[in-house]
Amino acid sequence: MANKVYNFSAGPSVLPEPALKEASAACIDFENSGISILSMSHRSKPIENMFAQTEQYLRELMGIPEDYDIVFLGGGCSLLFCMLPMNFLDQDATADYALTGVWANKAYKEAKQFGNALAACDTKSETYSRIDKNLKLSDNATYLHVTANNTIYGTEWHNFPKPKSGFLMADVSSDFLARKINVSDFGVVYGGAQKNISCAGVTVTIIKKGLLGKVNRTIPTMLNFQTHIDAANMFNTPPVFAVYVMNRTLKWLKEFGGVDAIEKVNRSKAALLYSALDNSKVFVGTAAKEDRSIMNVPFVFNKDVVAADKADDLAKEFLEFAKARGLQQLKGHRSVGGFRASIYNAMPVEGVQALVDCLGDFEKKVLG
């Protein structure tokens, strides 16, 4: 391809080129076996070793203690939203959910089917443009659920709340390994992999030992986390290729310098883009400054400069203007409109700088 393309998609998202090249080669010949990884038995020694290595990479990069289990599953977070309360929330028990966006609401809706799920906060009336830290917590909650980063609205918990009782559960799908967290502060950490650590097809759930097996209900075998822990993630045919892409991405991150190193770069990229938006006359960010995400940056036209009846046509023009420069997938989520730049781990600083330059040039064009 002659021109460099930068993919700002919220997910599935940009992945490191070295990981993509290794995954591509493995589709033809996995580890000099002469067999494609797509055709290799999940019970073969090479695949078992790869799964064990992937888990070890995660433990090293995230500092996951030995008293936590790691589960790899298909089904996406949409499945985990129901599996988690099914496994942890008894029918007469309570769980608190911080409603900070669409995905938090989806998790909350599923939990209500299994127990007494309560909203600890809800900023829907403010289009989820900020995170409400004044949570209404239950005295006897089994857990407090938070969504670490809100991809649609561009907000992020910079300091995680502490539950009044029970344990903290976090969906970290869109900032997985983007910043350092203390896993020991959580009972459960989970997420889909297709933002920062792999392609679509696999989820990661990190569970503190001793929390499972306490609900008074029969859990279907396949939906029971203990099933997969006991079978070392091999109860049924797992998403082998997606786990391998994760393996290669984690290897890349280790070689990059780990989470501390990538977090520095991520904060630098975010600061660069937010500075451009804050100094723009045509574009404005939509998230409250104190809650801004370092992963997802939504922005819109300044209403004082771009008339409402001109905004739709100008938005199409901007997206085409950006695409011509190799800047793709900048359209905002369908529920909020505008624009969104997702600047995950594998997005280089050069990509963000190219976007900043594009914003500046388009602004000159608009202002004449």
Which residue(s) pair with 122 in the sheet? Answer: 99
Give long-range contacts, CB 8 A cutoff, 24+ apart: 300-307. Answer: 300/332, 300/337, 300/338, 300/339, 301/338, 305/281, 305/366, 305/367, 306/282, 306/366
Angle 268-184-176 from CA coordinates, rounded to 5°: 35
pLDDT class of 1 with cuts at 50, 70, 90? very low
pLDDT at residue 334, rounded to an integer: 84
Distances (CA, A) of 32 to 19, 27, 45, 203: 17, 11, 14, 28
Neighbour order of strands in the sheet with 283-285: 283-285, 296-301, 339-342
**Six token digits for residue 46:** 């090479």
* Among candidate residues 191, 209, 67, the one with its CA nearest the CA of residue 59: 67
Q: At what angle do helices 308-323 and 349-367 cross, to 10 degrees?
A: 140
pLDDT class of 3 with cuts at 50, 70, 90? confident
Q: Which domains, from first to last, does the chain contain?
A: 17-255 (3.40.640.10), 258-367 (3.90.1150.10)
Those residues with Cβ within 8 angstroms of residue 289's Cβ, 6 or more apart along the chain or in another chain: none
Round the average pLDDT of the chain to a whole number and report it: 96
> Is a pLDDT exceeding 70 seen at residue 2?
no
pLDDT class of 368 with cuts at 50, 70, 90? confident
**Distance (Å, whole) CA 85 – CA 188:** 11
| pLDDT tens by residue, 239-277 | 999 999 999 999 999 999 999 999 999 999 999 999 999
Q: Any idea which residues carry the catalytic annotation?
A: 103, 171, 195
| pLDDT tens by residue, 170-218 | 999 999 999 999 999 999 999 999 999 999 999 999 999 999 999 999 9
Average pLDDT over residues 96-103: 98
Handedness of CA 202, 101, 312, 14 (dihedral sign): negative
pLDDT at residue 326, rounded to an integer: 97
Q: Taking the CB of residue 258, how many other CB atoms lie within 10 A of it?
A: 16
pLDDT at residue 227, rounded to an integer: 98
> Is a pLDDT exceeding 60 seen at residue 307?
yes
Average pLDDT over residues 317-343: 95
> Is a pLDDT exceeding 70 seen at residue 153?
yes
Answer yes or no: pTM beyond 0.85: yes
Average pLDDT over residues 29-42: 95
pLDDT class of 321 with cuts at 50, 70, 90? very high
pLDDT at residue 154, rounded to an integer: 97
What percent of the chain lies above the pLDDT cut of 70?
Answer: 99
Angle 314-317-321 from CA coordinates, rounded to 5°: 135
**Distance (Å, whole) CA 195 – CA 21:** 18
Average pLDDT over residues 75-84: 96
Q: CA dihedral in degrees (129, 134, 139, 140; nearest 10)?
A: 20
Distances (CA, A) of 231 to 185, 224, 225, 226, 234: 26, 11, 10, 8, 5
